[in-house]
Structures are given as structure tokens and as C-alpha cells.
């Protein structure tokens, strides 16, 4: 398998899209030149990846930072800081896995998302990433056992973390201003996900969100602090594409789900989301196209204030969706766990406390 990014940048089709892409690229190149003059150097920000029998998916981002970037993270972190980082486009990154070396290149936004042909034993493994003479860093890769039959896909916004993301003003406030320690976890969701991974040993965990890669370190710290099981985050890169000024979050989720079905045809996924965005419609669409790849769909019901902030609910819970896949609804993780036990995906005698 060639060591190239899985989704290389496509040339924009529309004239306005070409202009928007060119403008963004010029802006980033200007910032990169200025940053290098200030002594900033490329560093690799590793993200957790996943893999299967004979292959792995590697995710990371290359940014400019000070050589002493290993300094202690400040106690209070505002979201806007993650959006002033400087990406390094087309930067070569050397990936070392199982004694093999691969050289890949970051995309326009500094993101590396690549499949490599590597044979690693199932379980949590580590690989090494390095860019332009920077200090090597390690990244985790969860290699799925061929015998695994259950996997977990969970939305982040308003499913594991209260964000009220769909309303633009609140989204901006939560993303750019709010201290990351002020973000609230959804009650019971960490316990629910932990029980699923414990009772279905070897299950891959995928956190699927429309958020930008810029906030990946913030989300990773949030997950760790609130004891969510480790997993791969699949985020997106904001900015112009070949046919729109901003990337489509729904399309990102749709393509990610379809890819997981191709990569793991024997796995049935527990799809977890909320009723304040488009999760129900996307999951219903996926279940209709891939009924053998869905074990259940669990939807967290927003509270009335959350639903107001999020722009309302989708109301698919008012009638059974047209699918043979089990659907469950509840306002928190504990309620969803009880109903998933009723459909046989959790042990109803297990202690969820």
C-alpha cells in the first residue's frame, strides 16, 4: 500500500473555491515564514490511530512551535489558543512502525492521515513520528483483533461533553473562549463507554466529531480527565474545499462511518449520539445501508435548555425509525446503559457505578 495520505487534497472546481483555497494557502505560508524567522520549528502533534490485520491508520499534525514546546501546559487554557497555531503544509514526516520507516507528507492544513501496510499484533501499540529533524514523538495505535465483533462509535459534542455546538454564538464561545476545565461531561457517559469496552473486550473506540483538528489536544485532555476510554478521534479541518467555503460536518461523519464499514466488515458498531444535531438521521442512513454493521443506536436526549441552545430536537424518538436495528433513547449514560442491557449488549447484572 503506498504511503500517501488517504484523502489527498483535490483541486477546487469552482473559481470562487480556487480563490478561497489560494488565499488560505498564502495566509498560512506567510505565517509559516514569519514563524520560522522567530525561531519556531516544526513539531509533530500525535493523535491516536487504529488498524487491522496488516495495516494501520496514522493520524498526526505538523505545527510550528518553539524548540522548548515540551514546557508544562498552563493550568488554564482558553480554546482560542488552539486556533492560532501555525500548520506546516507538505511537511515530510517519517513514521517508524515495527522497524519499518515510511516518509509521508502533511496536507495543506498540516494534517497527516495515511494508511500504511504494517503487520502489528492486536492491541495497543506505539509508533514513532518525526518531522524535519524534530524530536521524535510516539503515537498510540489500537490494532483491532480479527476476532472482535463489537465496536463503539460515539459523537462528542453534547453526547460525551456538553457544548451546545449547533448555535453559532455558543459554538464560538465554547470553542474559542471557554476554559477547557469549565466544560462539563454528560452524566454517566464515561461509565457507559467503559462498560461497553470492558464487557466487549478488544472493541475499538472511535470518537467522531465535526470539530476541528485544532482542538484535538483539548478534547484528549478532557477525555482523560473524565475517565473516558482511550480511542481514536476522527475530526475534520475547517476551511475551504473544492466545492464549499467550509467543510461539511455531516459529510465528514457520513464518510467516516462508511469507511469503518469497509475496513471492518465483521464488526457491528454501537452508534452513540444525541438528538440535537444530525446524529439520528446519519445513523439511520448508515443502518439502512449497512444493517449488518450496526449492533444498536443509542441516542442521548438533550434537556429542554440544551435543546433550546442546540436549535431543537430531531424528534425521531416519537416513532420507531424504519430499521431492524435496536434503537434506545435516554437523557444520560445510565439510562442508555439500562436499555442497552435490555437488548443484550450489556450485562444487566453488572455494576455501572
Strand 161-162 to 205-212 pairing? unpaired
**pLDDT at residue 18, rounded to an integer:** 67
Backbone angles phi and psi of 141, in degrees to 5: -135, 125
* Mean pLDDT within 228-245: 74
Q: CA-to-CA distance for 159 and 156, rounded, in angstroms?
A: 5
Q: Nearest 5°: phi and psi at 23? A: -65, -45
Positive or negative torsion for Cα 256, 42, 116, 121: negative
Count of C-beta atoms within a 10 Å radius of residue 302 = 23
b/e sequence 339-352, b meaning 16+ C-beta within 10 Å: bbbeeebbeeeeeb
> What is d(CA 74, CA 58) in angstroms, rounded to the nearest whole number?
28
Residue 12 pLDDT exceeds 50 = no
By percentage, how much of the chain surpasses pLDDT 70? 72
Cα separation values, 253 from 58, 129, 162, Å: 18, 27, 19
Is the separation of the CB atoms in 171 and 156 below 8 Å? no
Nearest to 268 by CA among 254, 286, 255, 250: 286
Q: Percentage of residues in the chain with pLDDT exceeding 90?
A: 55
Low-confidence winner among 57-61, 310-314, 345-349 (lowest mean pLDDT): 310-314
Q: What is the mean pLDDT of residues 238-247?
A: 52
Q: Which three cell numbers stand for residue 48?
A: 491516536
The predicted model gives 23-49 an average pLDDT of: 84
Instruction: Grade residue 6 by pLDDT with cuts at 50, 70 and 90.
Output: very low
Mean pLDDT over 116-125 rounds to 97
| Stretch among 65-74, 85-94, 207-216, 318-327 having the lowest mean pLDDT | 65-74
Asked if residue 66 has pLDDT above 90, the reply is no
State the number of CA atoms in the 13 A half-sphere of 5 facing the CB: 21
Cβ-proximal residues to 54 (8 Å cutoff; 6+ apart), any chain: 117, 118, 119
All cell numbers assigned to 76: 488554564
Please classify residue 338 by burial: count the beta carbons closer than 10 Å to its beta carbon, then call 0-12 exposed, 13-18 middle and 19+ buried: middle
Which of 116-130, 202-216, 241-255 has the weakest average pLDDT?
241-255
Written as nine digits, the cell of 68 is 522548548
Q: Report the pLDDT averaged over residues 251-275.
A: 96
Amino acid at each position: 500500500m503506498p504511503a500517501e495520505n488517504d484523502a489527498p487534497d483535490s483541486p477546487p472546481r469552482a473559481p470562487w473555491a480556487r480563490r478561497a483555497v489560494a488565499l488560505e494557502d498564502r495566509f498560512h505560508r506567510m505565517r509559516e515564514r514569519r514563524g520560522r524567522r522567530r525561531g519556531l520549528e516544526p513539531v509533530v502533534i500525535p493523535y491516536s490511530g487504529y488498524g487491522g490485520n496488516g495495516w494501520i491508520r496514522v493520524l498526526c499534525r505538523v505545527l510550528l512551535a518553539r524548540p522548548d514546546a515540551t514546557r508544562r501546559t498552563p493550568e488554564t487554557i482558553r480554546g482560542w489558543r488552539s486556533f492560532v497555531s501555525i500548520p506546516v503544509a507538505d511537511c515530510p514526516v517519517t513514521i517508524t512502525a515495527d522497524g519499518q520507516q515510511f516518509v509521508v507528507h502533511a496536507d495543506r492544513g498540516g494534517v497527516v492521515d495515511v494508511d500504511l501496510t504494517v503487520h502489528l499484533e492486536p492491541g495497543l501499540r506505539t509508533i514513532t513520528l518525526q518531522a524535519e529533524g524534530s524530536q521524535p514523538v510516539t503515537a498510540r495505535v489500537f490494532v483491532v483483533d480479527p476476532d472482535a465483533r463489537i465496536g463503539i462509535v460515539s459523537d462528542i459534542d453534547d453526547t460525551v461533553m456538553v457544548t451546545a455546538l449547533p448555535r453559532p454564538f455558543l459554538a464560538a464561545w465554547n470553542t474559542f473562549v471557554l476554559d477547557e476545565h469549565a466544560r462539563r461531561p454528560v452524566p454517566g457517559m464515561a461509565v457507559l463507554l467503559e462498560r461497553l469496552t470492558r464487557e466487549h473486550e478488544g472493541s475499538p473506540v472511535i470518537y467522531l466529531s465535526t470539530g476541528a483538528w485544532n482542538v484535538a489536544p483539548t478534547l484528549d485532555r478532557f477525555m482523560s480527565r473524565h475517565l473516558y476510554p482511550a480511542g481514536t478521534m476522527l475530526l475534520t479541518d475547517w476551511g475551504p474545499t473544492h466545492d464549499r467555503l467550509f467543510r461539511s460536518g455531516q459529510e465528514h461523519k457520513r464518510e467516516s462511518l462508511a469507511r469503518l464499514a469497509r475496513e471492518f466488515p465483521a464488526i457491528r458498531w454501537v452508534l452513540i449520539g444525541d438528538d440535537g444535531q444530525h446524529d439520528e438521521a446519519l445513523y439511520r442512513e448508515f443502518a439502512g445501508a449497512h444493517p449488518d454493521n450496526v449492533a444498536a443506536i443509542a441516542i442521548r436526549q438533550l434537556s429542554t435548555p440544551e435543546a433550546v441552545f442546540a436549535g431543537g430536537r430531531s424528534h425521531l424518538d416519537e416513532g420507531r425509525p424504519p430499521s431492524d436495528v435496536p434503537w434506545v433513547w435516554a437523557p444520560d449514560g445510565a439510562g442508555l446503559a439500562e436499555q442497552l442491557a435490555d437488548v443484550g449488549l450489556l450485562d444487566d447484572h453488572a455494576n455501572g457505578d
